[in-house]
Protein backbone atom coordinates (compact mmCIF):
# COMPACT_ATOMS: atom_id res chain seq x y z
CA UNK A 1 0.00 0.00 0.00
CA UNK A 2 2.81 2.38 0.95
CA UNK A 3 4.53 1.32 -2.26
CA UNK A 4 1.50 2.20 -4.38
CA UNK A 5 1.05 5.59 -2.70
CA UNK A 6 4.68 6.75 -2.69
CA UNK A 7 5.86 4.70 -5.66
CA UNK A 8 3.05 5.36 -8.14
CA UNK A 9 0.55 8.05 -7.11
CA UNK A 10 2.80 10.65 -5.48
CA UNK A 11 5.48 10.74 -8.23
CA UNK A 12 2.86 11.16 -10.98
CA UNK A 13 1.27 14.08 -9.12
CA UNK A 14 4.69 15.58 -8.32
CA UNK A 15 5.94 15.45 -11.91
CA UNK A 16 2.68 16.95 -13.19
CA UNK A 17 2.92 19.80 -10.65
CA UNK A 18 6.60 20.34 -11.47
CA UNK A 19 6.20 20.59 -15.25
CA UNK A 20 3.01 22.64 -15.14
CA UNK A 21 4.41 24.82 -12.35
CA UNK A 22 7.69 25.61 -14.08
CA UNK A 23 5.95 26.46 -17.36
CA UNK A 24 3.44 28.58 -15.42
CA UNK A 25 6.23 30.48 -13.68
CA UNK A 26 8.07 31.05 -16.97
CA UNK A 27 4.93 32.36 -18.67
CA UNK A 28 4.04 34.46 -15.64
CA UNK A 29 7.47 36.06 -15.58
CA UNK A 30 7.42 36.59 -19.34
CA UNK A 31 4.07 38.39 -18.99
CA UNK A 32 5.47 40.81 -16.41
CA UNK A 33 6.57 44.10 -17.89
CA UNK A 34 9.97 45.58 -17.10
CA UNK A 35 9.16 49.31 -16.97
CA UNK A 36 12.67 50.49 -16.25
CA UNK A 37 16.15 49.66 -17.50
CA UNK A 38 17.71 48.33 -14.30
CA UNK A 39 20.91 46.36 -14.95
CA UNK A 40 23.18 46.19 -11.93
CA UNK A 41 26.69 47.06 -12.97
CA UNK A 42 30.09 46.72 -11.41
CA UNK A 43 32.35 48.13 -14.10
CA UNK A 44 33.06 51.03 -16.42
CA UNK A 45 30.16 51.45 -18.80
CA UNK A 46 30.72 52.10 -22.49
CA UNK A 47 31.46 55.76 -22.94
CA UNK A 48 33.83 57.91 -24.98
CA UNK A 49 36.42 56.00 -26.97
CA UNK A 50 39.30 57.31 -24.82
CA UNK A 51 37.80 55.74 -21.69
CA UNK A 52 39.24 52.27 -21.69
CA UNK A 53 37.22 49.23 -20.72
CA UNK A 54 38.83 46.01 -19.56
CA UNK A 55 37.38 42.55 -20.17
CA UNK A 56 35.91 42.65 -16.64
CA UNK A 57 34.09 45.87 -17.42
CA UNK A 58 32.61 44.22 -20.47
CA UNK A 59 31.08 41.48 -18.33
CA UNK A 60 30.21 43.66 -15.34
CA UNK A 61 28.67 46.43 -17.39
CA UNK A 62 27.69 44.78 -20.68
CA UNK A 63 26.81 46.95 -23.64
CA UNK A 64 26.19 44.58 -26.55
CA UNK A 65 24.02 41.50 -26.81
CA UNK A 66 27.05 39.19 -26.78
CA UNK A 67 28.49 40.82 -23.68
CA UNK A 68 25.15 40.32 -21.93
CA UNK A 69 25.03 36.68 -23.01
CA UNK A 70 28.59 36.22 -21.73
CA UNK A 71 27.62 37.78 -18.43
CA UNK A 72 24.59 35.49 -18.11
CA UNK A 73 26.61 32.37 -18.95
CA UNK A 74 29.29 33.28 -16.42
CA UNK A 75 26.59 34.05 -13.86
CA UNK A 76 24.87 30.70 -14.42
CA UNK A 77 27.99 28.54 -14.50
CA UNK A 78 30.43 30.50 -12.31
CA UNK A 79 28.15 32.46 -9.93
CA UNK A 80 30.22 35.60 -10.46
CA UNK A 81 27.84 37.79 -8.47
CA UNK A 82 28.58 35.74 -5.33
CA UNK A 83 32.21 36.76 -5.68
CA UNK A 84 31.07 40.26 -4.78
CA UNK A 85 30.04 38.98 -1.36
CA UNK A 86 32.26 41.34 0.62
CA UNK A 87 30.98 43.04 3.74
CA UNK A 88 31.58 46.76 4.09
CA UNK A 89 31.31 48.55 7.41
CA UNK A 90 30.04 51.99 8.28
CA UNK A 91 33.44 53.62 8.29
CA UNK A 92 33.61 52.66 4.58
CA UNK A 93 37.25 51.71 4.95
CA UNK A 94 37.12 48.31 6.61
CA UNK A 95 35.73 45.33 4.77
CA UNK A 96 35.57 41.63 5.29
CA UNK A 97 35.95 39.01 2.63
CA UNK A 98 33.00 36.62 2.75
CA UNK A 99 33.58 34.92 -0.57
CA UNK A 100 33.47 31.46 0.97
CA UNK A 101 29.76 31.72 0.14
CA UNK A 102 30.80 31.34 -3.49
CA UNK A 103 32.79 28.21 -2.64
CA UNK A 104 29.88 26.65 -0.75
CA UNK A 105 27.47 27.48 -3.54
CA UNK A 106 29.77 26.05 -6.23
CA UNK A 107 30.35 22.94 -4.11
CA UNK A 108 26.64 22.34 -3.68
CA UNK A 109 25.45 23.18 -7.19
CA UNK A 110 28.09 21.23 -9.09
CA UNK A 111 27.64 18.23 -6.78
CA UNK A 112 23.92 18.46 -7.48
CA UNK A 113 24.63 18.48 -11.21
CA UNK A 114 26.81 15.37 -10.93
CA UNK A 115 24.24 13.63 -8.71
CA UNK A 116 21.46 14.38 -11.20
CA UNK A 117 23.57 13.11 -14.10
CA UNK A 118 24.34 9.92 -12.17
CA UNK A 119 20.65 9.43 -11.38
CA UNK A 120 19.86 9.44 -15.11
CA UNK A 121 20.91 5.77 -15.09
CA UNK A 122 17.53 4.99 -13.54
CA UNK A 123 15.66 6.60 -16.43
CA UNK A 124 17.73 5.87 -19.54
CA UNK A 125 18.00 2.47 -21.13
CA UNK A 126 20.70 1.64 -22.15
CA UNK A 127 22.68 3.72 -19.66
CA UNK A 128 24.77 6.25 -21.63
CA UNK A 129 28.50 5.59 -21.73
CA UNK A 130 29.44 8.98 -20.31
CA UNK A 131 27.18 8.51 -17.27
CA UNK A 132 28.95 5.26 -16.40
CA UNK A 133 32.35 6.84 -17.04
CA UNK A 134 31.54 9.89 -14.93
CA UNK A 135 30.40 7.68 -12.04
CA UNK A 136 33.57 5.60 -12.23
CA UNK A 137 35.82 8.67 -12.37
CA UNK A 138 34.25 10.43 -9.43
CA UNK A 139 34.22 7.24 -7.36
CA UNK A 140 37.90 6.56 -8.18
CA UNK A 141 36.61 3.14 -9.12
CA UNK A 142 38.32 0.36 -7.22
CA UNK A 143 39.48 2.45 -4.26
CA UNK A 144 36.52 1.65 -2.05
CA UNK A 145 34.05 -1.20 -2.11
CA UNK A 146 31.30 -0.25 -2.62
CA UNK A 147 32.28 2.77 -4.71
CA UNK A 148 32.08 6.00 -2.71
CA UNK A 149 30.73 8.76 -4.92
CA UNK A 150 32.41 12.02 -4.00
CA UNK A 151 29.56 14.20 -5.25
CA UNK A 152 27.14 12.38 -2.95
CA UNK A 153 29.22 13.34 0.09
CA UNK A 154 30.15 16.80 -1.20
CA UNK A 155 26.50 17.72 -1.69
CA UNK A 156 25.77 16.94 1.97
CA UNK A 157 28.84 18.93 3.05
CA UNK A 158 27.86 21.86 0.83
CA UNK A 159 24.30 21.89 2.13
CA UNK A 160 25.47 21.76 5.75
CA UNK A 161 27.87 24.65 5.15
CA UNK A 162 25.13 26.71 3.53
CA UNK A 163 22.73 25.91 6.35
CA UNK A 164 25.20 26.49 9.19
CA UNK A 165 25.94 29.87 7.60
CA UNK A 166 22.28 30.74 8.04
CA UNK A 167 22.23 29.45 11.60
CA UNK A 168 25.46 30.75 13.12
CA UNK A 169 26.02 34.12 11.43
CA UNK A 170 23.83 36.73 13.08
CA UNK A 171 22.99 38.79 10.02
CA UNK A 172 22.25 35.78 7.87
CA UNK A 173 20.11 34.34 10.67
CA UNK A 174 18.13 37.57 10.85
CA UNK A 175 17.34 37.66 7.16
CA UNK A 176 16.64 33.91 6.81
CA UNK A 177 13.01 33.03 6.32
CA UNK A 178 11.45 29.67 7.13
CA UNK A 179 11.39 28.92 3.40
CA UNK A 180 15.20 29.25 3.28
CA UNK A 181 15.64 26.74 6.07
CA UNK A 182 12.93 24.44 4.71
CA UNK A 183 14.53 24.15 1.27
CA UNK A 184 17.92 23.35 2.80
CA UNK A 185 16.48 20.83 5.27
CA UNK A 186 14.48 19.13 2.52
CA UNK A 187 17.56 18.84 0.30
CA UNK A 188 19.60 17.58 3.25
CA UNK A 189 16.96 14.95 4.03
CA UNK A 190 16.97 13.77 0.41
CA UNK A 191 20.75 13.60 0.10
CA UNK A 192 21.30 11.97 3.49
CA UNK A 193 18.59 9.38 2.90
CA UNK A 194 20.15 8.69 -0.50
CA UNK A 195 23.56 8.16 1.03
CA UNK A 196 22.12 5.94 3.78
CA UNK A 197 20.39 3.86 1.13
CA UNK A 198 23.59 3.61 -0.87
CA UNK A 199 25.99 2.66 1.91
CA UNK A 200 24.00 1.12 4.77
CA UNK A 201 20.46 -0.07 4.05
CA UNK A 202 20.53 -1.36 0.50
CA UNK A 203 17.60 -1.27 -1.86
CA UNK A 204 17.13 -3.36 -4.98
CA UNK A 205 18.24 -0.96 -7.70
CA UNK A 206 17.14 -3.16 -10.59
CA UNK A 207 13.61 -3.17 -9.14
CA UNK A 208 13.80 0.62 -8.73
CA UNK A 209 14.67 1.05 -12.37
CA UNK A 210 11.94 -1.41 -13.39
CA UNK A 211 9.47 0.68 -11.38
CA UNK A 212 10.56 3.90 -13.09
CA UNK A 213 10.57 2.35 -16.57
CA UNK A 214 7.02 1.09 -16.00
CA UNK A 215 5.88 4.44 -14.58
CA UNK A 216 7.24 6.12 -17.70
CA UNK A 217 5.08 4.09 -20.06
CA UNK A 218 2.05 4.36 -17.71
CA UNK A 219 2.06 0.62 -17.07
CA UNK A 220 0.47 1.30 -13.68
CA UNK A 221 -0.54 -2.25 -12.77
CA UNK A 222 2.97 -3.63 -13.24
CA UNK A 223 4.50 -0.61 -11.51
CA UNK A 224 2.25 -1.10 -8.46
CA UNK A 225 3.26 -4.75 -8.22
CA UNK A 226 6.97 -3.85 -8.36
CA UNK A 227 6.51 -0.91 -5.99
CA UNK A 228 5.27 -3.21 -3.22
CA UNK A 229 8.46 -5.29 -3.36
CA UNK A 230 10.95 -2.42 -2.89
CA UNK A 231 12.55 -1.75 0.48
CA UNK A 232 11.01 1.03 2.66
CA UNK A 233 14.26 3.06 2.77
CA UNK A 234 13.81 3.72 -0.95
CA UNK A 235 10.45 5.37 -0.31
CA UNK A 236 11.94 7.82 2.21
CA UNK A 237 14.28 9.02 -0.52
CA UNK A 238 11.78 8.80 -3.35
CA UNK A 239 8.87 10.46 -1.53
CA UNK A 240 11.06 13.34 -0.33
CA UNK A 241 12.37 13.80 -3.87
CA UNK A 242 8.76 13.85 -5.12
CA UNK A 243 7.89 16.48 -2.52
CA UNK A 244 10.88 18.54 -3.66
CA UNK A 245 9.75 18.27 -7.27
CA UNK A 246 6.26 19.48 -6.39
CA UNK A 247 7.59 22.23 -4.10
CA UNK A 248 10.22 23.42 -6.57
CA UNK A 249 8.27 25.70 -8.95
CA UNK A 250 6.64 27.72 -6.16
CA UNK A 251 9.66 28.13 -3.93
CA UNK A 252 12.95 29.98 -3.82
CA UNK A 253 14.49 26.99 -5.57
CA UNK A 254 12.91 28.35 -8.73
CA UNK A 255 15.91 30.68 -8.95
CA UNK A 256 17.20 27.97 -11.28
CA UNK A 257 14.85 29.33 -13.94
CA UNK A 258 14.45 32.77 -12.46
CA UNK A 259 18.07 33.74 -13.07
CA UNK A 260 17.25 33.87 -16.78
CA UNK A 261 14.43 36.34 -16.12
CA UNK A 262 16.38 38.64 -13.82
CA UNK A 263 16.19 42.16 -15.29
CA UNK A 264 19.20 43.32 -13.30
CA UNK A 265 21.27 40.61 -15.01
CA UNK A 266 19.85 40.07 -18.47
CA UNK A 267 19.66 43.68 -19.70
CA UNK A 268 22.57 45.37 -21.45
CA UNK A 269 23.68 48.65 -19.91
CA UNK A 270 23.05 50.71 -23.04
CA UNK A 271 20.69 53.20 -21.51
CA UNK A 272 22.48 56.21 -22.94
CA UNK A 273 22.53 54.86 -26.49
CA UNK A 274 19.13 53.22 -26.80
CA UNK A 275 15.91 54.36 -25.25
CA UNK A 276 14.19 51.77 -23.10
CA UNK A 277 10.47 51.99 -23.77
CA UNK A 278 8.19 51.12 -20.89
CA UNK A 279 5.81 48.48 -22.22
CA UNK A 280 3.02 49.98 -20.13
CA UNK A 281 3.48 53.33 -21.84
CA UNK A 282 0.46 53.93 -24.07
CA UNK A 283 2.17 56.61 -26.21
CA UNK A 284 5.96 56.63 -25.83
CA UNK A 285 6.36 59.64 -28.14
CA UNK A 286 4.88 61.96 -25.51
CA UNK A 287 7.05 62.36 -22.36
CA UNK A 288 5.52 60.90 -19.21
CA UNK A 289 5.86 64.24 -17.37
CA UNK A 290 3.59 65.93 -19.90
CA UNK A 291 1.16 63.06 -20.30
CA UNK A 292 0.85 62.05 -16.67
CA UNK A 293 0.20 58.59 -15.27
CA UNK A 294 -3.28 57.10 -15.56
CA UNK A 295 -4.28 54.70 -12.80
CA UNK A 296 -7.82 53.25 -12.84
CA UNK A 297 -9.27 56.09 -14.85
CA UNK A 298 -7.62 58.94 -12.94
CA UNK A 299 -4.75 60.86 -14.48
CA UNK A 300 -2.00 62.19 -12.27
CA UNK A 301 0.23 64.83 -13.79
CA UNK A 302 3.22 66.32 -12.08
CA UNK A 303 2.67 69.76 -10.63
CA UNK A 304 4.74 72.22 -12.57
CA UNK A 305 6.87 74.44 -10.39
CA UNK A 306 7.32 77.82 -12.07
CA UNK A 307 10.68 79.56 -11.93
CA UNK A 308 9.65 82.41 -9.66
CA UNK A 309 8.31 80.08 -6.98
CA UNK A 310 11.40 77.93 -7.27
CA UNK A 311 13.71 80.94 -7.01
CA UNK A 312 11.91 82.27 -3.98
CA UNK A 313 12.20 78.86 -2.29
CA UNK A 314 15.93 78.48 -2.84
CA UNK A 315 17.14 82.12 -3.10
CA UNK A 316 20.03 81.71 -0.67
CA UNK A 317 21.51 78.64 -2.28
CA UNK A 318 21.03 79.86 -5.85
CA UNK A 319 22.67 83.20 -5.07
CA UNK A 320 25.56 81.44 -3.43
CA UNK A 321 26.01 79.28 -6.53
CA UNK A 322 25.79 82.34 -8.76
CA UNK A 323 28.54 84.02 -6.73
CA UNK A 324 31.01 81.33 -7.75
CA UNK A 325 30.65 82.19 -11.44
CA UNK A 326 27.82 79.86 -12.37
CA UNK A 327 25.01 81.13 -14.52
CA UNK A 328 21.59 80.63 -12.94
CA UNK A 329 18.85 80.43 -15.57
CA UNK A 330 15.48 78.67 -15.69
CA UNK A 331 15.52 75.29 -17.45
CA UNK A 332 13.94 75.33 -20.86
CA UNK A 333 11.76 72.30 -21.50
CA UNK B 1 4.02 37.99 -23.36
CA UNK B 2 7.27 39.89 -23.70
CA UNK B 3 10.48 38.56 -25.28
CA UNK B 4 8.66 35.72 -27.02
CA UNK B 5 11.68 34.83 -29.13
CA UNK B 6 13.63 33.89 -25.97
CA UNK B 7 10.87 32.59 -23.69
CA UNK B 8 9.24 30.10 -26.06
CA UNK B 9 12.56 28.36 -26.94
CA UNK B 10 13.38 28.35 -23.22
CA UNK B 11 10.13 26.56 -22.38
CA UNK B 12 10.74 24.09 -25.22
CA UNK B 13 14.31 23.45 -24.02
CA UNK B 14 13.01 22.84 -20.50
CA UNK B 15 10.38 20.38 -21.72
CA UNK B 16 12.78 18.54 -24.05
CA UNK B 17 15.38 18.41 -21.26
CA UNK B 18 13.00 17.21 -18.60
CA UNK B 19 11.50 14.53 -20.83
CA UNK B 20 14.91 13.31 -22.06
CA UNK B 21 14.10 9.70 -21.00
CA UNK B 22 11.17 9.65 -23.43
CA UNK B 23 13.01 10.60 -26.58
CA UNK B 24 16.17 8.76 -25.52
CA UNK B 25 14.31 5.52 -24.81
CA UNK B 26 12.20 6.00 -27.94
CA UNK B 27 15.35 6.25 -30.06
CA UNK B 28 16.86 3.23 -28.32
CA UNK B 29 13.52 1.37 -28.60
CA UNK B 30 13.70 0.30 -24.97
CA UNK B 31 10.43 1.48 -23.42
CA UNK B 32 9.54 -0.60 -20.38
CA UNK B 33 12.59 -2.81 -20.87
CA UNK B 34 13.19 -5.28 -18.06
CA UNK B 35 16.20 -7.57 -17.68
CA UNK B 36 15.59 -11.29 -18.09
CA UNK B 37 17.49 -13.41 -15.61
CA UNK B 38 18.40 -17.00 -16.32
CA UNK B 39 16.70 -19.22 -13.76
CA UNK B 40 19.38 -20.75 -11.53
CA UNK B 41 19.40 -24.49 -10.93
CA UNK B 42 19.18 -24.60 -7.12
CA UNK B 43 18.07 -22.55 -4.13
CA UNK B 44 20.01 -19.44 -3.14
CA UNK B 45 21.96 -19.32 0.13
CA UNK B 46 19.60 -16.60 1.37
CA UNK B 47 16.16 -15.34 0.35
CA UNK B 48 16.45 -14.33 -3.28
CA UNK B 49 14.73 -10.97 -2.78
CA UNK B 50 17.14 -10.11 0.04
CA UNK B 51 20.00 -11.22 -2.19
CA UNK B 52 18.89 -8.90 -5.00
CA UNK B 53 19.52 -5.89 -2.77
CA UNK B 54 22.31 -7.14 -0.49
CA UNK B 55 24.44 -9.71 -2.37
CA UNK B 56 27.41 -7.33 -2.40
CA UNK B 57 27.35 -7.09 1.40
CA UNK B 58 27.27 -10.89 1.61
CA UNK B 59 30.21 -11.23 -0.77
CA UNK B 60 32.10 -8.61 1.19
CA UNK B 61 31.47 -10.53 4.41
CA UNK B 62 32.56 -13.77 2.78
CA UNK B 63 35.72 -12.10 1.56
CA UNK B 64 36.60 -10.83 5.05
CA UNK B 65 35.77 -14.20 6.62
CA UNK B 66 37.85 -16.10 4.09
CA UNK B 67 40.88 -13.81 4.30
CA UNK B 68 41.01 -13.18 8.05
CA UNK B 69 39.38 -16.24 9.58
CA UNK B 70 39.66 -18.84 6.85
CA UNK B 71 41.80 -21.22 8.91
CA UNK B 72 39.36 -21.15 11.88
CA UNK B 73 36.36 -22.14 9.81
CA UNK B 74 35.51 -18.70 8.51
CA UNK B 75 34.76 -20.31 5.18
CA UNK B 76 31.70 -21.98 6.66
CA UNK B 77 28.64 -19.82 6.16
CA UNK B 78 25.39 -20.52 7.98
CA UNK B 79 22.42 -19.37 5.98
CA UNK B 80 19.99 -17.18 7.90
CA UNK B 81 17.14 -18.33 5.69
CA UNK B 82 17.56 -22.10 5.55
CA UNK B 83 20.08 -22.72 8.32
CA UNK B 84 22.20 -24.85 6.04
CA UNK B 85 25.96 -24.63 5.80
CA UNK B 86 27.63 -23.32 2.69
CA UNK B 87 31.20 -22.91 1.55
CA UNK B 88 31.80 -19.16 1.51
CA UNK B 89 33.19 -18.72 -1.98
CA UNK B 90 32.07 -17.25 -5.29
CA UNK B 91 32.41 -20.77 -6.65
CA UNK B 92 29.36 -21.62 -4.53
CA UNK B 93 27.47 -18.95 -6.48
CA UNK B 94 28.77 -20.22 -9.82
CA UNK B 95 27.59 -23.74 -9.03
CA UNK B 96 24.00 -22.57 -9.69
CA UNK B 97 24.44 -19.38 -11.70
CA UNK B 98 26.41 -20.89 -14.54
CA UNK B 99 26.49 -17.79 -16.74
CA UNK B 100 27.64 -14.33 -15.67
CA UNK B 101 26.35 -12.82 -18.89
CA UNK B 102 22.83 -14.15 -18.56
CA UNK B 103 22.46 -13.49 -14.84
CA UNK B 104 24.80 -10.95 -13.20
CA UNK B 105 25.37 -8.67 -16.16
CA UNK B 106 21.65 -8.38 -16.89
CA UNK B 107 20.95 -6.22 -13.82
CA UNK B 108 24.41 -4.68 -13.63
CA UNK B 109 24.15 -3.34 -17.18
CA UNK B 110 20.56 -2.33 -16.51
CA UNK B 111 21.57 0.09 -13.74
CA UNK B 112 24.90 0.93 -15.37
CA UNK B 113 27.45 -0.45 -12.93
CA UNK B 114 30.48 -2.59 -13.64
CA UNK B 115 31.86 -4.19 -10.45
CA UNK B 116 35.61 -4.59 -10.67
CA UNK B 117 35.48 -7.99 -8.88
CA UNK B 118 35.59 -9.88 -12.16
CA UNK B 119 38.68 -8.12 -13.41
CA UNK B 120 40.59 -10.72 -11.38
CA UNK B 121 38.17 -13.30 -10.00
CA UNK B 122 36.96 -16.37 -11.82
CA UNK B 123 33.67 -16.39 -13.71
CA UNK B 124 32.25 -19.27 -15.77
CA UNK B 125 32.34 -17.04 -18.84
CA UNK B 126 36.12 -16.98 -18.84
CA UNK B 127 37.61 -19.03 -21.59
CA UNK B 128 40.08 -21.31 -19.84
CA UNK B 129 43.33 -21.86 -21.72
CA UNK B 130 43.93 -25.54 -22.40
CA UNK B 131 47.20 -26.79 -23.74
CA UNK B 132 46.72 -27.96 -27.31
CA UNK B 133 50.22 -27.66 -28.60
CA UNK B 134 52.37 -24.59 -29.06
CA UNK B 135 50.42 -23.29 -32.06
CA UNK B 136 47.24 -22.69 -30.08
CA UNK B 137 49.16 -20.67 -27.49
CA UNK B 138 49.56 -17.86 -30.02
CA UNK B 139 45.92 -17.05 -29.23
CA UNK B 140 46.93 -15.98 -25.71
CA UNK B 141 50.47 -14.75 -26.26
CA UNK B 142 51.73 -12.71 -29.12
Residue ranges of domains in chain B: 40-119
**Residue B63 C-alpha, separation from nearest chain A C-alpha, in angstroms:** 12
Chain centroid to CA A325: 52
In this predicted structure, the answer to whether residue B61 has a pLDDT above a threshold of 70 is yes
Q: Which residues of B touch A132 (CB under 8 A)?
A: 112-114
Residue B142 is predicted with a pLDDT of: 63
Contact A29, A261 (CB under 8 A): yes
Which of A150, A157, A69, A153 lies closest to A105 in space, CA to CA?
A157
- Checking DSSP bridges between strand A86-88 and strand A95-97, what pairing results, if any? antiparallel
Residues of chain A falling short of pLDDT 50: none
What pLDDT was estimated at residue A87? 77
The pTM assigned to this predicted structure is 0.86
ipTM comes to 0.87
DSSP assignment of B82-96 equals T--EEE-SHHHHHHH
With a pLDDT cut of 70, the percent of chain B lying above it is 97
Q: What is the pLDDT of residues B8-19, one digit of tens each?
A: 999 999 999 999
* Cβ count near B15 (within 10 Å): 12
Tell me how close the Cα of A99 comes to any Cα of chain B, in angstroms.
31
Per-residue pLDDT at A64: 94
Cβ within 8 Å, pair A145-B54: no
* Closest partner CB to B53 (pick from A122, A203, A279): A203
Which chain B residues touch A if contact means CB-CB below 8 Å?
A: 1-4, 7, 10-11, 14-15, 18, 20-22, 24-25, 28, 30-35, 49, 52-54, 56-57, 60, 107, 109-114, 116
CATH architecture of A2-266: Up-down Bundle (1.20)
Predicted local distance difference test score (pLDDT) of residue A98: 84
Nearest CA in chain B to A231: B53
What's the mean pLDDT in B70-82? 89
Determine if the peptide bond prior to B18 is cis (ω within 30°).
no
The whole-number pLDDT of residue A118 equals 95
Band (B128; pLDDT cuts 50, 70, 90): confident
Amino acid sequence: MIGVIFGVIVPYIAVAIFVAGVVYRFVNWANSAVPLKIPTTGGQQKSFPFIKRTIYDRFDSPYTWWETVGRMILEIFMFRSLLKNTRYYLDRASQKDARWLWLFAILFHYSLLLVLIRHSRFFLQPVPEFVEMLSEIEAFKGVFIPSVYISGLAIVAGLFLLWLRRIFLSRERTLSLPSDHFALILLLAITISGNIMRYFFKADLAAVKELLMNLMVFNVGKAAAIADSIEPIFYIHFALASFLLAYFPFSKLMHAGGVLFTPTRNMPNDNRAKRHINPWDSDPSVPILTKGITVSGMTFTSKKLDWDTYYSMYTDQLDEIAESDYKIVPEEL
Amino acid sequence: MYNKKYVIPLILIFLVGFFTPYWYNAMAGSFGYEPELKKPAGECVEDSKWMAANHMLLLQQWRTQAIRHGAEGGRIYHSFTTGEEYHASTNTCWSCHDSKEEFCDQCHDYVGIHPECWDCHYTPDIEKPQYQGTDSLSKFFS
